[in-house]
Structure formats: C-alpha cells, structure tokens
Structure 1
Amino acid sequence: MDDQPITETGPKRGPRYRTTQKRRGWRRFVGWKAFLLYFLGLILLGVGAVVFAFATIDVPEPNDFSTSEATIVYYDDGETELGRFSAENREVLDSEAIPESLKLAVVAAEDRSFYENPGFSVSGITRAAIDQIRGTGAGGGGSTITQQYVKNYYLTQDQTWSRKLQEIVIAVKIDQDIDKDQIITNYLNTIWFGRGAYGVQTASQAYFDVNASDLDLAQSAALAAILRSPARYDPTAGDANAERFEQRFRYVLDGMVTTGAIDQQTADETDPPEVLAEQRQNRYGGPNGYLMMMVRDELRALGFEESEIETGGLRVVTSFNEQAQEAAVRAVDEERPTENAERVHIGLAALRPGDGGVVALYGGPDAVEQSFNDAVDARVQPGSTVKPFTLAAGLEEGFSLNSRFAGNSPFEAEGLGPPVNNQGNVSYGWSVDLLQSTERSINTAFVDLTRNVNSQTVMDAMVRAGIPEDSPGLEANPRVTLGIASVSALDMAEAYGTLAAQGVHTDAYTVSEVVHASGEVRYEREVEARRVFEPDVMADVTYALTQVVDSWRGTGRTVREHGFDRPAAAKTGTHQDLTSWFAGYTPQLATSVAYFRGEGAEAGTEALTGVGGMENFAGGGYPARTWTAFMNAAHEGLPVEEFPERANVNGFTQASPPRSDTGGDQWGGDQSGGNQSGGENGGDESGDENGGDESGDENGGDESGDENGGDESGDENGGDESGDENGGDESGDENGGDESGDESGGDESGGDDSGTDETGDENGDAWGDQGGNQNGGDQNGDGTDTDSAVSPSRQVHRLPLRRAA
C-alpha cells in the first residue's frame, strides 16, 4: 500500500489556498487604509469647515429682543417709581451693581468651568448633539454661559445644527474679545427669570422686592436655582415646585463649595430665603393707571415712537408728586358719598401755579376696569366756578369790587332769553356789590355784569385763563358766566392755576424730563409762562375768592369748618343739580373737584339729587369736603404762603343812582331817608343788610349762619326739595314758575307776582326807564347793544388799563 509521507508541518496545501490567503491580507490592509483616509478626510473637512466658519461668521449686531429695555416712569423726585412700559420687563445694570455672590452662584449652577473654558465645552456640545439626534429638544442643556449669552443676545432660539455652529463660533470670538466679567454681566442682564422679568434687576424685584445690588447669598443662590426653569423651580407655584427648588438650591450651594466660592460651613448655614408670591399687576391697574396713560399720551405728543416707549429704556421724570397723589386717592375714597351714590363719578386735578405741572390726579378707581378718565375725558358743565373769570373781565373793564349789580331774582333783560334766577330763587336786593356777589354766588349780578362788559370779553378772559377755546357750549352769551360750557377737572385746575399765579398762565403737563438709560437727555421741559392778567386785577379776584371761604356767608365756608387754615381762595359750582364742583387754590397749589353721574357722552346728564342723602347736591358739600381733605394732606410739610394784598382796582367806581321820588334812602330805604345806622337796602337799626335779623344773618338767615336759610348740611342757598335749579317748583318748572308753567313766578297773565310792575319791569323798574326797558335800553330799537349797554344808574369812570400782551 502506497502511503503518503507525513511531514512535520502537516499535510501540504495546494496553490489555491495560498493565493486566497494572500488576497485576504491585502484586502484587510486596503480596508484599514481606506478607513484611516476617510477619517482623516472627515477631520480635515471639519477643520476646514471650522476655519471657513471662523472666516465667514462675524459677531452680528445684538438682536432687538436682547437690547430692549423697559421705560421707567418716576414721580417728580426722579427716584420713586410710578410705573413702567415694556415689551420685556428689563432694566440693564452695570457690573458693579450686580453682587459677586450672584455671579458665583450662577456660575455654580450653569457652567462651573466658565472662568477656564474658551467659550464652549466639548462635553456640552456632545450632550447637545446626542439630544438633537434623539429628538429630545434639549440641545441647549449643556451650553456654557457664554453660549447662552450669545444665543440670547445675538441669535434666535432655533435648535438647528447651523445655528449651533454659529453659536459656538461666536462664543469663541466673544470669549476672545470680552473679559469674563463683562460676559456674565451681559448674560445676567438678558436671561429670563420668569414672572415677566428679564435680567437680574427686575427678577430681584419680582421675587424679593429688592434691588439686585442688595441681594444676599441665599437670595443669589435662589435666583441661580430658579433661572434653569422658572416654571419648574418657582417655589411659590405649588408643593412640587417648592421641593424641586430646595433640591436645586442645595445643588447651587454645593457647586459654590466645589468652585471655591464659599466654604462648606457657609453652605450648611445658608437656608432658602423667603420668596414673595407673584404679584400679577397690570401697568394701568388702580387709580395711578390714569397717570401712566397720560404720560404715555404726552410722550407720543412729544414725538417718541411707540417702539421706543416700549423698549427704549427711557427714564421719564414726571410732575406727579407721590405725597399729593396718595392724598388725592385717599381724599376721594374717604369723602365719597355712599348713600344713593350709584354711577357717581369724581374727577380731581391739582397742579403747580406758574409752572403747570400736574402734581396729582384722580380719574377713577381703576384704569383697567374703566378707561374713561373722570378728570380729563369728562367734560361737564362747571356752573359758577367760572364766575371768577367774569369778575376779572369786569375789573379789566373799569369796574371794582364795590360796583353794584342786580341782586333780585328773577332777572330779566332784553336779549337775555328766559329769566335768570339765583339759587333757591333768593333775592339779595336790587343792587349788590361784586364782592358779596362772589362770596354768595349771585347769578343775577354776574349775568348783569356780563351784559355790561360784553359776553365776548368774558369768554376771552376764560380762554386766556386756560379754559379750552373749543369747549362745548363756550359761546358769546350772557349766560356764559353761569358755566354753560363743558370742561374737565384738569381744564379748570389749569385755569385756576392762572389765578393762583396772579395772572401768569402755563399749560398743564405731566412729563418733566426724558433721559435714555445711557444718560443721554432726550427731552427737558421748558416752562412757557405768559402773563394774561395784570397782578392788581388778580389780587382783587383772589381777595374776593378768599371771602367765599372765610366769610360766614360764603358758599365755600366748609373749607374752614373742616380744618384747612391756610390762605385759600375758592369757588363753588352747581349746574341744574347735574354737576357739582369745588375749585380753588393756595399760592402753591390749584385744585378742582367735579362730581357727576355717567361717563362718555352721558357724563353730567343724570341728576345728583339724593346722593349722600342730600336733596341739593351743592358744591359747598361733598366736593368742598373732598377738596379740603386733599389740600390738607397735600400741603403737609410745605411752608405757609400768603396771597397779595387787595389792590382795590378802580377804587369806588359805582355812581349813585337817582333818589326815589318818595325821598327814601339811596338804595331804596324808607321815606325818612334811611335809618340812622346807614343800613343798606333798607336794613334795620342794627345795620343788617337787606333786613337781616339781630344776629346779623343776611336775608334772614338762621342763627347757624347758613346762607339764606339753608340747612346745616351745607346746601347752597337753600334750594328746594325737587333739586330744580334756582328753586324751581315741584312741577319741575325752572326759576320757580307757577303750576301753569309761567317762568319767574309770574301769574298766568304775566303780572307782577315776582315784584315786577304791570309793564313787566323787574323790581319796579329801578334801573330801567319809565317805558319798561331794563338797563337803559329804549323801546325804539335804535341798535343799542343789550349785551354791553351800561345803565345810567351804573355809569363808571373807566381807568386806563395795562392790557396783557
């Protein structure tokens, strides 16, 4: 048997096997080289991409979001915040204003290698890449502080590879160009903290009600814990949040120990701080919302764009005074009537005379619930509060405070229209001087004065003082002196400010200064003062208005009764029981208060009868009390200033009327030529005017000093129970007409029940001629202007006047 020999190496293999083995080794070598080349190619491609990215990606301009900053509105001290406008509630701070404890806490929470890394972290990038591939949406979780700052300040919030590459490149460039302290400062000014707060300043205020510079270690660690996810870590948002917050708070403190910011003992001794509950506030909420609306409107009028107001970081100093504003809100709240007070609105405005700055304003209880501003938008009829401007016009035209005009009610005259009545249809004698007419608000005398100086002249005086020329109802009409034009409380405060400044008018304003956050002054108020009345005229007007307050018969004596003891000048106003006003001033402050019902077109169209339990809701009641409460509080801490002395403009300009045929005294006394004491208007021996009683009450007033027998509640002039103006009867007839509807209390045939003679001449034709024409007008229609004619019994010696420019 032929057996094959066996060698040491085993059976021999054929040629085919050797060829296959060699071929497999070659393939292994070629595959390894290809992989190496492929890998090196990727590296080169990546390096090339990075080089290309660094060459082509520049640091862009900051995005609008990151640079937006809240506009902060301050009271007149420039420090106390009134409110703010913002798309993002942010206030940018310098590095020095951010405590070191907060910077170190944020580093411990967000990026413990911040001070060493070049702007990015390899581990962070890897983590972000894995998250992106998995689709978890958490790609930014491992970003460094520099990367987060770049994303917030320069880029968008998109989660894409291209945006991530941009973020890394810009982060590296930023890290090379800006020091670490500036980077973390910028980061802390842009990061979102929840509660509408962007940046540490607004966050500090939102969570702890302190400025960022006042944060302690615990508060700093708390903010660092919250910023990771405010919705999850705000401890006031539920028990689960509170538990997560405490764990995160400890994590931050441990990180501060790790980075060497604090020692372990300090960490152990630091407890979580008390975090305030979130206060959700509307910028226009509450009474001060009306102030913010006015400031915004004025900024627009000054040329500031809406975008700049919302995001421009403006610092607006206003004219509003915190003490005065709080006094205004408190006065309205405390003095507001409660009985039958549905739909009652109150407007209050106060400004500085000679300057025009509005120091306080009450436009309603809440500007969010009621956008209608009761002190600005409500234009209602002011009643007798406009009489001081008629008085000023009369003094300019040659009359004096001693000049005498019709005091009896009703008052009729050619071209006047329906008769004019005094409140309560009270008569004060057929002639009464302007001083008494002012303090007692005698309608007939002021209409008579208006007819003598010309109603256009009176209207001009109102406009010069500050009543808007476009006020509804402002027209050349003798009744313009009764307050038929509709104005706002702010309009009236501006006009009374002219009286308080002794004839110098300044427009009302609310914005004093606007400064950009950078320090650039964008606007500074320059007061434009114009003299519109002469000082001596104003001195006499002011004197007359002080008697409204100081005289026992003045319609504004409530001011003294409620404890305001500074020099004050004021005037009441009531219009057909639809509106009720009190306006007045000291040398430092001019204030007006208006009560009415309704808003918008309905303002001042619904009667105030019965409000506060008062049949006649007069200006000397609740409006005067509100004014007094405000002025008392607003003047606290201010020095007492005096008014100028009475000037006695034009002296005694009243000429004596002709004596009566019966030989009575000069003003209609008895046949013996008047009583021995010289009593005016036929007074008794004690000298009481108009036949007052022994206590000195004029016109038979009661012992309490209530004017004209008015009741103790302060009802002006004792109006009737129906609330009809001027003492209308129960049927609602104005002016005390009888049941048949005849005005002026005349009988059905037009007879003389009201004291007129058979021809219809009022008061026995005391000033008219025998033909029945009052004020000297003739019957022949000779063209005499009934609005400006002066009766023979009241001719005046007109003095040269220094007219205002």
Structure 2
Amino acid sequence: MSEDDRRPQRKSTRPVQGEGPQRRSTGASGAGPRRPTTGSTSTGRARPTTGSTSTTRTRPTTGSTSTTRTRPTTGSTSTSGGGRGGGKKGGKGGPPRDRHGKPIPRWKYLLRRIGIGALASGLAVFLLGFIGLFIRYETLPVPPPSAFALQQASTIFYADGTTVMGRLGQADRQVVDVSKLPPYVHLAFVAAEDRSFYTNPGVDFMGTARALIKTVVFGKKQGGSTITQQYVERYYVGKTTTDIKGKIDEALLALKIDKQQDKDVVLGNYMNTVYFGRGAYGIEAAARNYFGKPAADLTVSESAMLAGILPAPSRWDPALNLAQATFRWNYVLDGMVQGGTITQTERDAMVFPTTIEYANNNVFAGTQGYLLRTALDEVTATTGKTQEDIETQGLSIVTTIQPAAQQSIEAAVAQMPTGAAPNLRVAAVTMDPTTGAITGMYGGADYLTIQSNAVTQDIAQAGSTFKPFALVAALESGISLNSVYDGNTNRTVPGFDSPVHNFLGVNFGNINLIQATAYSVNTVYTQLNVDVGPDKTREVAIKAGIPENTAGLDANPSNVLGSASPHAIDLASAYSTYATGGLSTQPFMVASVTDSKGNLYYEHQTTPKRVFAEDVMADATYAMQQVVNLNGGSGHFAAQLGRPIAGKSGTSDANRSAWFVGFTPQQVGVVGMYQVGPNGEAEEITPFGGFRQITGGSIPSRIWTWMMGPIVKDQPVVDFPARANIGKANTSTPSSSPTPSPSPSPTPSSKPSSKPSPTPTPKPTAQPLPKPTLQPLPKPTPTPVQAVKP
C-alpha cells in the first residue's frame, strides 16, 4: 500500500465541476449506505480532542448516513482529515498553519518567532537593568565635594577691613550664604536653568537620555538639564563626565541628593560653584566682576543677566555679545513673571543693566604687590599657612595698612623732583609706634619689575641715623645734653686712622650735644662714641630695634656714623622706641586672619617691652626735636607741619644712601634712597632736583614731610615728654685745633683702628638755640588707592 493510500482521505462535499447536486436514493440499485472508513465508529463531522483516538463531531446531512469531516487536535492519533501530523503545524514535513488551518508562510512564522524572542529578551534586560540601577542607587555613596568646588580665593584687606587690597586664589570664588540674599536673586537662576526645580525629583529623565545619546553616540559633551544634576556635576564630580557609567551615576546621585538635601541648600551650593566668566566662580565673585558690588546688592535686572549667561558665560558676556546676553536676560525675566517672582508691570519697566569694564590685571602689579607679598609672608610665618592654603581656603586677611596713609606715601614719592637716575630706589614706610603696626609702605614702583622690597629686603648704610643710639648710650652713662665737645672739622679722633671732618667742612666750634644732634656734627659724635664705647652704642641700637645680625653692625668707633646697613623697617622699629619713650614694639602688617566661615583664626597681639628709661628717652627726644626746630637743622624742612616732631637725617660716605627718619608721638616715618649699580653694588646717588649732593636733609626730608603731612593732620597735637635734664656736663676743655677740609663728606672715609684710646671731654659752653624759620609746605597731588581687580 502506498503512502498516499495509507493517508486518510477527506471527502469533499463540493459538487464536481459541471455537475449539479446529486441526491442519493435509498432505493437505487447498488446505492446502499456507505461503510465508514476503517476505525470510524460514528458518522457526521468529527473533531477529535487531545489524546483521543477517533472522537468525531458529526454533522449529518438530510438523508446522509455516513458523510464525515474530522480535525484532529495536537497530539491526536486520528487519521481523519489534514496532512500527515494534522493540526496547524501541518505535521511532519507540512507547512505551519494559522488557527483557520491555512498554511503560514515560513518567513512570517520566523519573524513572529524572532519578535516574541526579542520581546522576551528585552523584558528580561529591562528587568535586570532596573534591578541593577536599584542596587546601584542604594549602594552609591554621596562623595565628598570636589576639591575645586571648595576652593575659595583669599581676600587681603586694608586696615578698615572693607577696602580690598587684593584677592589671591586658584579660583576667584567667595562662598556666601544665599539665604541672606534677596529672594529674587536665586529665583532668577530657577527661571533661567530649571523652572520645575522645586517640584521635580532632581532629574530630567528625557534630558538625561538626550545627554547620554549626545555624549556617548555623537561624542558631544552635554551636562544634566536640572539644577540638581548640574550641581552634582560641578560640586561633587568636578568636571563633565563623558562615559555612560558617569552619566548614570550623576543622575542617580541627583535623585539621591534631592531626597537628602533641602532644595535651597542645593540651589545655594550650585550658585556658589558655577562659573560666570570673567574668572568668577560663584555669585559673589560674579557680582563683583560684572557690577562692582556684593551679591547682596544685586538688583532684579542684574540677577537676571547673570543667571541668563550661565550656559556660555565667556561667549555671552555683554561686553562681547550684547545681543545674546539681552535675549537671555529677557528669557529669564519672562520666566520670573511666569513664576510669580515679579509682575508683568515690573518686568516691563526693567532696563538691561550696565556692567563695569573688566580688566584681568595681575594682582601683584604696581606698588601694592609689595604690600601683598609682605602680608602673605607674614601670614605664613605667624600661622603656618602655606601659599596653597591661602589661595584655596577663602581666608580674610586684614592688614594694618591704612588707605589714606598709603595714598599719602605714594603721592609724596610721585612728587619727587624729576631727573633721578633710573636705578635710584626709594623706600618709604610709616608705623604706629605704640603698636608696631605698619600703616603704609612704598617698597618700589612695580613689584612685577623688581621683586625686592626696598623697605623690608633691601639694605643701605644708615649714615648719621645711628647717632641717636650713641646719644642714648651717653645719657645712660651719665653724660648730659649740656656736655660740650669740639665741633670743628678735620679733627683727629682716637680710633680713626685719619682726621674726621664734617659735612661741607663746617667748623662749629665748641657745641653741646643738642646742637651737635641738630646739625649732625660728625666730629662731636665720634668723640662721644669713644667716650661711651662703641660696644655700648651697638648695644643700644640692638635694644632699640636694629637686628643683631645687621650687616656691618660692629663695635667699632665708626658705627656711630652709620657703617651698618639696616633695612628701612629696622630704622622704623628702632625710632618707634624713641617715640614711645623707651617701649619697644615689633613691626607687623597682618592684624587678623579669619577663615571662610568667619571664625577668627589669628589675631596679632602687641606686647610692648620697656628697654630704656623714660627720662633717658625724654632727653634724647628733646635733642632730636632740634633737628627739625633749629634753623639749619638737617630736618628743618619738616617744621612746616607745625607740630612736635623729632628725627634724624643720615647720609652715607660718598652719598651712596640718604635717609630721613622722623616721628611724632603717634606716627613714625622713614624715607631712604640709594642707587644700585648693574651688579648690585651701591653707587653714589646721581644729583637731581637742583641739589649738588643728595643728603638725608635734601630730598628724603621733603618726601618725609609730604607723606607725613596728610597722615598727621587729623591727629591731635601731642607734645613729647619734657626734657628731664639727666646726667652731668663734662668739665674738660677741648685740646685740638680744627683744620678745615675743602671737600668734606657726610661720613668720614677714614678707617677706625681696632682699639680707640680715650679722649678728654671739653668744658661746656652754653649757646642759645635759634628759632626755626618756617617755609610753605608744597601740597602733594593725591592719587587714589586702587582696589585690585582679580
């Protein structure tokens, strides 16, 4: 039997083409009832069920006794209907069929199968991904803020605590409490960057998806679209993340932080972190660099402009792209109207704000560079803070420099006559003698050109400014101001290899120590130094404030003529001891240091130390007042100030340096000048300003007067203590005759021997002191103190 013969056949009920319906007659010859097929036990149309052997569903027709049609189901062993195997699948070797039994094309079948598989796989991946994200969310820690986000520039202030001298930092940022700003300031940022900030969960899911696609697929950097996401990126991550994992972590952190931190905290940290252009990080620096004011003083219009340029501040700065800045400003204001921050009427009245000119100057340029460098060095020395600490920790450093005093010093130096050699250097400093606070300092014209501070780092021979140390030594030894010495020039003095002469070869005859101080008589003071001992003069200088390791500070007879080379600040310190009547204080420039949270970190404490008796200093100061009071005194130009002033001029050998140091009971001032050769050697100061020689009583005393005038004019006039008249006058008579010298120098060029021999003291002769003749004081041209633009 063939395969086809074994296959059950389904009998068609359709009429054969060309034939009409046939009716079977039960009485026709040979037309009896048909025998059912093998295995069939019923007639009609049968549909066997799963596992049945021949169950059929019979639909008998009229007069029919055996017409059948069967549809076996899956697993049926029936042989009725269908091809081999039966059912939709068509059996072994047959095509797949739909539920109606029609064959399904294999390509459709395969697609259907692939689609179902892909859907199942996608669901599985989604489920696994969701589980993975959940686990990552739960285990992802909130990291500490990035180091850069916490960096704040330190601010150095003048003595008033408000005038800025300069800002130093790797990032120009000053963190402020945003909650203390006007509400419209932070609401402007909400209108500009994330208008659903207060209602969203911290993440814009569609925006994050776009950022992932642009970042990963197209390689274009794009940050998060909500303020919280931007906050995470800048405050915690510190830079734009470019990989999928980083972007996902940012989004998860945003979700977590949104639940952990108050919205206003997030907004505040964000506003203190973001970059605004012009080197400004954070709202405080931005307000300062664009409008020259603190953030607390921003207007609605200014706030809207700053918030508007955030997406591209360096390109949308109004100074560079006014049109785009205006467009964004309008966008923010419209958002503020929609958010109810301002009314439409208020918005219509707004005008675009005017920004200040921004100049990215070097903070150390000009004279203020010397102030800043000195302050920074002192902070490091007193607090242990490193330069990096200062540039990143947002310290507030208040100095002792008074704006008015600094302005006065700079104006006085600028008034100096023209014609000076280009390598002439000028040092000028003022100081409060009662505290040691440096109130003003001129260390040079431009720190960027010469980094050596003329006040604190350069040295120059002191000249006759050392004579007051010998005077105090004499008073302490019991020698009174009335003691008389031979003041003629070209005098032989024990301990010197050649005769000592006076400036311009002047013969003064027998004069007392008051006159010898006023006229700076070399021959008298060299004799006095021999009487008291050069070691005693050196000791007094050190006790007054001259450092023991000062170059040239030796115990030889010439030390009274200023063979030592101190710094200008050393002379200021030493003469402060005279101004206070014997109390020594250490000079300083840093008054206090406060951390970024306003906690006091360091505060200078002044501890005056008595080093000389008051009566000794009263007599010494009386003699030094005559330097100014006496007509012909080396500092007589300063008498124009019309108040008690004491001081001393000083000029080194061959006019290589010139000084004037003067003081009132409230203020000490030092002016020095010297000329530096190409190899750093001292040169003779080239004459200028109509002077044949530059001495301490010429240009230095004038600069001193010009700078001190404005400083002391508003201070009460205070007298020095009255002369105490201590000690005894000498009783011996001078024994030598003077020999005039045709070409004298302020300091003798002779070299002292190592062991001076004593000389007798002359008999005193009282001489009246002439009254000073006052001259009009030229008015200096003021120059404003400039606050530094970072």
TM-score by length of 1: 0.79
Q: Counterpart of 1:106 in 2: which secondary structure? A: helix
Paired positions, count: 674
* Equivalent residue for 2:470, pick from 368, 381, 390: 390
CA distance in 1, matches of 2:704, 2:732: 40
| Residue 492 (str. 1) matches residue 571 (str. 2) | yes
Structure 2 residue runs without a partner (length 5+): 1-14, 22-80, 84-89, 765-790
Which one-letter code corresponds to 1:492 in the other structure? L
CA distance in 1, matches of 2:607, 2:342: 59
| Residue 80 (str. 1) matches residue 125 (str. 2) | no
Query: Which range is displaced more, 288-297 or 466-475?
Result: 466-475
1:418/1:582 Cα in 2 relative to 1: closer, same or farther (>3 Å)? same
Which one-letter code corresponds to 2:760 in the other structure? S
Deviation at 1:39, TM superposition (A): 2.2
| Residue 524 (str. 1) matches residue 603 (str. 2) | yes
2:393 maps to what in 1?
A: 312
1:614 maps to what in 2?
A: 691
1:676 maps to what in 2?
A: none
* Equivalent residue for 2:326, pick from 221, 227, 246: 246
CA distance in 1, matches of 2:453, 2:345: 58
| Residue 791 (str. 1) matches residue 754 (str. 2) | no
CA distance in 2, matches of 1:539, 1:328: 29
Residue 545 of structure 2 contacts residue 574 of structure 2 at CA under 8 Å; is this kept in 1?
Answer: yes
CA distance in 2, matches of 1:617, 1:135: 74
CA distance in 2, matches of 1:432, 1:447: 14
Deviation at 1:117, TM superposition (A): 0.7
Identity %: 37
2:771 maps to what in 1?
A: none
Q: Counterpart of 1:611 in 2: which secondary structure? A: coil
Deviations 1:142-176 (A, max 9, x none): 42111111111111313221111221111112111
Residue 191 of structure 1 contacts residue 199 of structure 1 at CA under 8 Å; is this kept in 2?
Answer: yes
CA distance in 2, matches of 1:18, 1:571: 120
| Residue 144 (str. 1) matches residue 144 (str. 2) | no
Q: Counterpart of 1:194 in 2: which secondary structure? A: coil
Residue 378 of structure 1 contacts residue 600 of structure 1 at CA under 8 Å; is this kept in 2?
Answer: no
Deviation at 1:67, TM superposition (A): 0.9
Which one-letter code corresponds to 2:644 in the other structure? P
1:180 maps to what in 2?
A: 263
* Equivalent residue for 2:663, pick from 579, 585, 598: 585
Deviation at 1:793, TM superposition (A): 5.1
1:40 maps to what in 2?
A: 123
| Residue 468 (str. 1) matches residue 547 (str. 2) | yes
Residue 340 of structure 1 contacts residue 613 of structure 1 at CA under 8 Å; is this kept in 2?
Answer: no
CA RMSD, 1 decimal: 2.9
Q: Counterpart of 1:410 in 2: which secondary structure? A: coil
CA distance in 2, matches of 1:101, 1:305: 39
CA distance in 2, matches of 1:315, 1:522: 10
CA distance in 2, matches of 1:346, 1:191: 44
- Map 1:139-288; keep pairs closer than 5 Å: 139-140=222-223, 142-157=224-239, 158-237=241-320, 241-288=321-368
Residue 409 of structure 1 contacts residue 425 of structure 1 at CA under 8 Å; is this kept in 2?
Answer: yes
Query: Which range is displaced more, 533-542 or 610-619?
Result: 610-619
CA distance in 1, matches of 2:269, 2:18: 89
Q: Counterpart of 2:362 in 1: which secondary structure? A: coil
1:713 maps to what in 2?
A: none
Q: Counterpart of 1:282 in 2: which secondary structure? A: coil
Q: Counterpart of 2:671 in 1: which secondary structure? A: strand
- Map 1:630-641; keep pairs closer than 5 Å: 630-641=707-718
CA distance in 1, matches of 2:756, 2:623: 24
Which one-letter code corresponds to 1:565 in the other structure? G
Q: Which has the larger radius of gyration?
A: 2
2:514 maps to what in 1?
A: 435
2:626 maps to what in 1?
A: 547
Q: Counterpart of 1:514 in 2: which secondary structure? A: strand
Extract structure 1 runs of 4+ deviating beyond 4 A.
2-8, 12-20, 22-29, 792-795
1:322 maps to what in 2?
A: 403
CA distance in 1, matches of 2:572, 2:269: 47
Deviation at 1:257, TM superposition (A): 2.4
2:191 maps to what in 1?
A: 108
2:705 maps to what in 1?
A: 628
Deviation at 1:255, TM superposition (A): 2.1
CA distance in 2, matches of 1:600, 1:346: 17
1:657 maps to what in 2?
A: 733
Q: Which has the higher contact order (CA 8 A, sep 6+)?
A: 2
1:748 maps to what in 2?
A: none
Query: Which range is displaced more, 527-536 or 287-296?
Result: 527-536
CA distance in 1, matches of 2:531, 2:303: 76
* Equivalent residue for 2:584, pick from 505, 530, 534: 505
Which one-letter code corresponds to 1:457 in the other structure? K
2:723 maps to what in 1?
A: 646
* Equivalent residue for 2:144, pick from 34, 40, 61: 61
Q: Counterpart of 1:639 in 2: which secondary structure? A: coil
| Residue 400 (str. 1) matches residue 475 (str. 2) | no
Residue 655 of structure 2 contacts residue 746 of structure 2 at CA under 8 Å; is this kept in 1?
Answer: no
2:32 maps to what in 1?
A: none
Q: Counterpart of 1:487 in 2: which secondary structure? A: coil
Deviation at 1:38, TM superposition (A): 1.8
1:715 maps to what in 2?
A: none
Deviations 1:478-537 (A, max 9, x none): 111111111121111111111111111111111111111223322121213221111111
Structure 1 residue runs without a partner (length 5+): 661-666, 669-689, 691-707, 709-718, 728-733, 736-742, 745-783, 796-805
| Residue 416 (str. 1) matches residue 496 (str. 2) | yes
Deviations 1:296-321 (A, max 9, x none): 11111121122211111111121111
CA distance in 2, matches of 1:120, 1:599: 68
Residue 381 of structure 1 contacts residue 579 of structure 1 at CA under 8 Å; is this kept in 2?
Answer: yes
- Map 1:347-362; keep pairs closer than 5 Å: 347-362=427-442
CA distance in 1, matches of 2:140, 2:709: 66
2:46 maps to what in 1?
A: none
2:767 maps to what in 1?
A: none
Residue 450 of structure 1 contacts residue 787 of structure 1 at CA under 8 Å; is this kept in 2?
Answer: no
Q: Counterpart of 1:613 in 2: which secondary structure? A: coil
